[in-house]
C-alpha cells in the first residue's frame, strides 16, 4: 500500500490517492485501518487519513477524511491544502483554482505559490440546532455546565462543530492544564450530540489570536483549519478582532479573512513529509489481512 505523508502547519495526514475508489465508497474506510496508520508508535503517525477520490462534475476531487480514531469527519482546512499539493505534484492538477468536494460541500482552493494555498472555508453557522448543539437561537453566547461551574463560550459550525473558549472570559491561562484538562471532557459534552472540537483562544490584539485546539476524535493537534476559522468567526462577531487577522497555533501562523456577511478564507502552507509503502507483514501483524490486496497499489 503506497502512501505519502503531508502536513499543514503541523497538522499531519496520511494521504492515499484512490481515484478509482478501489477501497470502497466515501466514508467506508475501515476504522481499524485508519487508526493503525495514524498510530504514532506502531504506524505512520498522523492526525488523520485523507483518501483522494475522483469526482465527476464541477468538483475535480473528493476529500474522504478520517480522524485518527477512524471516525469520518466533514472537513479539514489544513488537509485540503495538502490534498491539492499532492495532486499538483502528481501532475493531475495544475496551479489554477480547484474545487474539492467534501462532506460539508464543495470547497475552492487557490494556489498562492511556494506551497501556500487559500481555502474558501464557507460561511460560519451560528444557530445551535445547525452546529449541532442543544438549545436554540444564537450560539455566540452559550453556557456549558461542567463540574458545577458554567463556562461561557461561543459555538460555531464550519461544516463541523466547534466550541470556542476565550481564556480571559473563563479566567484561565492558555496552558496544558487548560487544554488537556478540559479538551477531552468538552469534546463529549452532552450539549454536543455529534461531539465537538474545542478551541482555547487568547486574544493578543485586534489583529492577532493565539490558539490551541482539542480536535474531536484526535486530541490536541498543532493546528486545525476549521478551528482557526471558528475562533475568528466568534472573535469578529463579538467585535474582539477585525475581519482580517493572523492566528498563531503551535504549528505556525495562518491568515484568516472574513468577507462581510460572507465566506471565511484561510491561507496557510502545505508540505510533503515523505513517501512510503506498507507491506503485508505490517497488515497481518495488526489483524488487517483483509486489506492485503491493496499492497503494491500506487495509491
Active site residue 229: no
Q: Are the C-beta atoms of residues 211 and 202 closer than 8 Å to each other?
A: yes
Distance CA 71, CA 79 (A): 15
Q: Which residues of 235-257 are buried (b: 16+ CB within 10 A; e: fewer)?
A: bbbeebbeeebbbbbebbebbbe
Contact between residue 218 and residue 68 where contact means Cβ atoms under 8 Å apart: yes
Report the Cα 88 to chain-centroid distance in Å.
Answer: 21
Cα–Cα distance for residue pair 87/83, rounded to 1 Å? 6
Which residues lie below 8 Å from residue 268, measured CB to CB, with a gap of 6+? 8, 9, 77, 78, 81, 116, 117, 223, 225, 252, 254, 255
Measured between its terminal Cα atoms, the distance across the chain in Å is 7
How far apart CA 284 and CA 290 sit, in angstroms, is: 9
Cell of 139: 450560539
Got the DSSP string for 228-278?
Answer: HHHHHHHHHHTTSS-SEEEEEETTEEEEEEE-TTS-EEEEEE-EEEEEEE-
- Collapsing DSSP to helix, strand or coil, 38 comes out as helix
Looking at 38, 76, 82, 229, which residue is catalytic?
76
Catalytic residue among 38, 82, 224, 229: 224
Q: Is 15 helix (H, G, I), strand (E, B) or coil?
A: strand
Q: Which residues are known to be catalytic?
A: 76, 224
Amino acid at each position: 500500500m503506497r502512501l505519502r505523508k503531508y502536513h499543514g502547519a503541523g497538522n499531519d495526514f496520511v494521504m492515499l490517492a484512490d481515484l478509482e475508489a478501489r477501497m470502497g465508497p466515501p466514508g467506508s474506510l475501515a476504522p481499524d485501518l485508519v487508526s493503525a496508520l495514524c498510530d504514532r508508535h506502531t504506524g505512520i503517525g498522523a492526525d488523520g487519513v485523507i483518501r483522494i477520490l475522483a469526482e465527476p462534475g464541477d468538483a475535480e476531487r473528493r476529500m474522504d477524511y478520517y480522524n485518527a480514531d477512524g471516525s469520518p469527519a466533514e472537513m479539514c482546512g489544513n488537509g485540503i491544502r495538502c490534498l491539492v499539493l499532492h495532486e499538483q505534484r502528481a501532475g493531475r492538477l495544475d496551479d489554477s483554482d480547484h474545487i474539492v468536494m467534501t462532506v460539508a460541500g464543495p470547497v475552492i482552493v487557490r494556489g498562492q505559490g511556494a506551497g501556500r494555498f487559500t481555502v474558501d472555508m464557507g460561511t460560519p453557522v451560528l444557530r445551535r440546532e445547525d452546529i449541532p448543539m442543544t438549545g436554540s437561537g444564537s450560539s455566540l453566547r452559550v453556557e456549558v455546565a461542567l463540574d458545577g461551574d458554567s463556562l461561557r463560550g461561543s459555538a460555531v459550525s464550519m461544516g463541523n462543530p466547534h466550541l470556542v473558549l476565550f481564556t480571559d472570559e473563563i479566567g484561565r491561562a492558555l496552558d496544558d492544564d487548560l487544554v488537556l484538562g478540559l479538551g477531552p471532557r468538552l469534546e463529549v459534552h452532552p450539549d454536543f450530540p455529534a461531539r465537538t472540537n474545542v478551541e482555547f483562544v487568547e486574544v493578543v490584539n485586534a489583529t492577532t489570536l493565539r490558539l490551541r485546539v482539542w480536535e474531536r476524535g484526535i486530541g490536541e493537534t498543532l493546528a486545525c483549519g476549521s478551528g482557526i476559522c471558528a475562533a475568528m468567526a466568534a472573535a469578529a462577531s463579538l467585535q474582539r478582532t477585525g475581519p482580517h487577522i493572523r492566528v498563531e497555533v503551535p504549528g505556525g501562523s495562518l491568515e484568516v479573512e472574513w468577507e462581510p456577511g460572507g465566506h471565511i478564507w484561510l491561507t496557510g502552507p502545505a508540505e510533503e513529509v515523505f513517501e512510503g509503502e506498507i507491506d503485508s507483514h505490517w497488515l497481518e501483524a495488526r489483524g488487517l489481512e483483509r486489506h492485503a490486496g491493496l499492497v503494491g497499489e500506487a495509491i
